Amino acid sequence: MASVKLVEKHEASTMRATFKKCLGLLLISGLLLFLFCAWRPGTSSGVDLRTRQRGQIQKLLKGKIQDIIGVYPDIAYHIKDDVACLLAQNTCMCRADEETFNLPFSNLLFPHVWAHNIDLAFLESHPDPSGVKRHRAQEYSSFQKRSYNPADVLIVAEANSPLQYPTQGVEVRPLKTILIPGLGLKEETGSNHTVSLTATLGTFDVAATVDRVSVKGGGEKHMILSSPLLTSLNRQLQFVTYTNTLFHPKTADTVQFATDVHQSFFTIKVGHGIIPRLYNTGNPREYNISALVTIATKTFLRYDKLKDLIDSIRQYYPTVTIVIADDNEHPQPVTGPHIDHYIMPFGKGWFAGRNLAVSQVTTKYVLWVDDDFIFTANTKVEKMVDILEKTTLDLVGGAVREVTGYTATYRHTISVEEGGEEGDCLHVRNGYHHVVAGFPNCVVADAVINFFLGRTDKVQQAGFNPRLARRGHLEFFIDALGSLHVGSCSDVIVNHASKIILPWSKTDSHKAYEKFRYSSSGADDNVYKEDFYFKNRFKCMTSQ
C-alpha cells in the first residue's frame, strides 16, 4: 500500500520534522498496545448470539414506506379484478373442487383438487390442542427472528433525492473493513454541504482526508461530514470506510445516509464468503460415470430384489459404487466390488436409511434408486449427468416403467400460500413449470419420482426427515422447496420390478415386508400429521 505523505504548504520545515517525530511515536505506541492486547488471554469481549430485534432504523424505514405508499389518497382508482385476484391475500383457504359429475375414470381424465385440513386432523386427536398451538406460535416467532435479514427489508429510493448511494451489492466480511462505493451528493451549490451516515452493526471512518472537509464521529456508528465545497465533500465520500464490529456469519447492516432534509437507506451484507465444494472427476471433456456418480439405495426384507438391482446395474455400470443402507433384523451379507453395505438398527426406517446412504457418498452426484428397480438400456445415467452439468438444476428425476408398460414421471408443482396466525396452506398440483431450453424431454418441477440424480452436497443439505419411517417421498421435496432447483427428464427410464405376487407364492419375507410397508399405526399417522402441522406450520393441504 502506498504511503500517504501530507504536505502542508504553509508549515515550516521544523514543524514538518516535529510532525514526523510525533507520528513515529504514535505508530510505535499503537504497535506496542496492539501486541499487548493480542498477548493478553481472556480479554476479548463476549458476543451476544441472541436474536436481534428490528432496530430504530428499521422502524423509521417502515414509517417512510407507509408514507410513500399512502400518498395521493384523494385520487380515485379502479381495480382490475382479473389482475387483483392474482395478488397474494395472506389468508389462504382450504378448498376442494366441487364434484360436477361422477363418471368412471373421470378423475383420471379430469383430476380434481382434494383438500385436507391438517390443523383439524392433528389438533382433534391431540391431548392439549391449545398448548401445542401456543408452542408452535412461539417456535415460529423464534424462527422468524433467527431468519430475519435486514437485506430483505424493502427500500425505496425516493425520486429526486440528491443523495447517491449503492442500492445493493455491498458486502463485508465479519469484523473486516471496506470502502463504501458510490456515495455522493448532487445538490445545488450552497454555503455548506452536510451528510451523515448511521449504522447499527459497525462503524464509519475515512481512509484519507480531504482539505476543507470536516469529519466528526470517525470510528463511531454515526459520522457527519461537511464542507463548503461540494466537490471536496464528494471527494471525501470516496474514502468513507465501514468496519463491521459485531460478528455474525450471515446478516446485514442497514445504513442511513442523510442530509438535513433527505434520507436514504441501503444495506451492507455481512458474512463469510461461500467456500466452494469442488470435485476432481478427471477429464472434463467426457463423463466418467464411476468418478461422478454413486448409486444409493435402502433395503428392507427384499434381498432378492436388491440382488436383481445390483445385477442390472453391473450390466451397464460395472465400476460405479453402490451404497446400501440396510435395517433388516437379520441382515445378510451383500458383497462384491464397489459395494458399501451399511447395517442400521432394526426397522430404523425409510428416511433414516436415505440419510445414512447419502451421507456416505463422496462423488459429485448421487443417484437414488429403490431396491426393486431394474436398470435397462434406457437407464442412461449419462443423460442425467449432462443436464446437471449444463444447467443450474440441483436434482433431476427420470421415469419409472411398470410391468404393465405404463411409464410414470411423477411431476408436481408445490406452492405455499400464507394463511395468517393459524398456519399456511400447502398446494400440490400435477404438472411442471416449463421446459428446459436445449433439453426438450426435460422440464422444471418441484417434486419428481423416486428415481433421481442430485448434486450430493445439495441433497445432503436438504436432508431426509428420519421420523418418516414407513413411507415418505413428497415430504423431502416439501422440505427442500426453495433450496433445490428440480427438473425431470422423461428419456431416462428405469424399470420397476413386478409387485404382482400370487397369494400362495408369497414367502415369509414378502409377508413381513407388506406388514411393515403397508400397515399403518395410529402413532405413524400422528407423526405425519405433526410434521405438517408443527414442523412445517401448515394448516391445510390441497392436492390432485
Domain of 204: which CATH number? 2.60.40
The DSSP output letter for 199 is -
Is the domain of 243 the same as that of 372? no
HSE of 106 in the Cβ direction (CA atoms, 13 Å)? 8
Phi, psi dihedrals of residue 466, rounded to the nearest 5°: -70, -10
- The answer to whether residue 155 scores a pLDDT higher than 90 is no
Strand partners, 204: 220, 242
Is the domain of 267 the same as that of 305? no
In a domain, 218, yes or no: yes
In a domain, 56, yes or no: no
- The answer to whether residue 370 scores a pLDDT higher than 50 is yes
The pLDDT of residue 180 is 93
The listed range with the strongest mean pLDDT (96-100, 119-123, 309-313) is 309-313
The pLDDT of residue 347 is 85
In a domain, 229, yes or no: yes
Is the domain of 183 the same as that of 324? no
Q: Rounded distance, CA 195 to CA 183, Å?
A: 10
The pLDDT of residue 144 is 82
The pLDDT of residue 506 is 66
pLDDT in tens, 157-197: 776 789 999 988 899 999 999 999 999 999 887 789 999 99
Is the domain of 305 the same as that of 418? yes
Q: Which domain holds residue 210?
A: 152-271
User: Taking a C-beta distance cutoff of 8 angstroms, is the pair 198, 221 a contact?
Assistant: yes
C-alpha pair distances (Å), 510 with each of 24, 473, 499: 86, 22, 10
Helices (H), 148-206: none
The pLDDT of residue 338 is 96
Q: Rounded distance, CA 213 to CA 236, Å?
A: 7
Is the domain of 233 the same as that of 354? no
The pLDDT of residue 471 is 79
The DSSP annotation for 456-502 comes to HHHHHHH---TT--S--SHHHHHHTTTT--EEEEEEEEEEE------
Average pLDDT score over residue span 133-144: 86
pLDDT in tens, 34-61: 443 333 333 344 545 444 555 677 777 7
User: Taking a C-beta distance cutoff of 8 angstroms, is the pair 151, 252 a contact?
Assistant: yes
Q: Rounded distance, CA 239 to CA 210, Å?
A: 9
In a domain, 59, yes or no: no
HSE of 517 in the Cβ direction (CA atoms, 13 Å)? 11
In a domain, 64, yes or no: no
Choosing from 241, 271, 301, the residue where a domain stops is 271
With a pLDDT cut of 70, the percent of the chain lying above it is 80
- The answer to whether residue 11 scores a pLDDT higher than 60 is no
- The identity of residue 117, as a single letter, is N
The pLDDT of residue 284 is 72
Cβ-in-10-Å burial (0-12, 13-18, 19+) of 193 comes to buried
**Domains contained in the chain, number:** 2
In a domain, 146, yes or no: no
Query: Can you read off the three cell numbers belonging to residue 55?
Result: 432496530
Is the domain of 455 the same as that of 377? yes
Choosing from 271, 305, 339, the residue where a domain stops is 271
Is the domain of 297 the same as that of 219? no
Local confidence band at 358 (pLDDT 50, 70, 90 cut-offs): very high
Choosing from 215, 238, 271, the residue where a domain stops is 271
- The answer to whether residue 278 scores a pLDDT higher than 50 is yes
Q: Rounded distance, CA 202 to CA 255, Å?
A: 10
Average pLDDT score over residue span 426-430: 94
Beta strands 214-216 and 222-227, pairing class: antiparallel
With a pLDDT cut of 90, the percent of the chain lying above it is 54
The pLDDT of residue 105 is 63
The whole-chain average pLDDT of the chain stands at 83
**Long-range CB pairs of 69-72, under 8 A, 24+ apart, other chains included:** none
Is the domain of 255 the same as that of 401? no
Is the domain of 410 the same as that of 486? yes
- The answer to whether residue 238 scores a pLDDT higher than 70 is yes
The listed range with the strongest mean pLDDT (112-126, 178-192, 257-271, 498-512) is 257-271
Is the domain of 184 the same as that of 224? yes
Query: Can you read off the three cell numbers belonging to residue 361?
Result: 457418498
The pLDDT of residue 527 is 85
Is the domain of 306 the same as that of 437? yes
The pLDDT of residue 38 is 39
- The answer to whether residue 29 scores a pLDDT higher than 60 is no
Query: Can you read off the three cell numbers belonging to residue 224?
Result: 457527519
Q: Give kind and range of the element (H or E) at residue 33.
A: helix 13-39
By C-alpha distance, which of 487, 463, 524, 507 is closest to 396? 487
The pLDDT of residue 477 is 96
Query: Can you read off the three cell numbers belonging to residue 262?
Result: 433527505
The pLDDT of residue 495 is 95
Whole-model pTM: value is 0.79
The pLDDT of residue 54 is 57
In a domain, 312, yes or no: yes
Which residue shows C-alpha cell 456515495? 183
In a domain, 367, yes or no: yes
Q: Rounded distance, CA 69 to CA 64, Å?
A: 9
Report the range of poorest mean pLDDT among 95-104, 197-206, 318-327, 407-416: 95-104
pLDDT in tens, 464-486: 989 887 778 899 999 999 999 99
- The identity of residue 155, as a single letter, is I
Is the domain of 521 the same as that of 390? yes
Average pLDDT score over residue span 281-297: 88
The pLDDT of residue 2 is 38
Q: What is the CATH number of the domain that holds 335?
A: 3.90.550.10
User: Taking a C-beta distance cutoff of 8 angstroms, is the pair 277, 361 a contact?
Assistant: no
Q: Rounded distance, CA 161 to CA 259, Å?
A: 10
Q: Rounded distance, CA 241 to CA 215, Å?
A: 12
- The answer to whether residue 84 scores a pLDDT higher than 90 is no
Report the range of poorest mean pLDDT among 77-86, 139-148, 337-346, 351-360: 77-86
Strand partners, 147: none
The pLDDT of residue 6 is 35
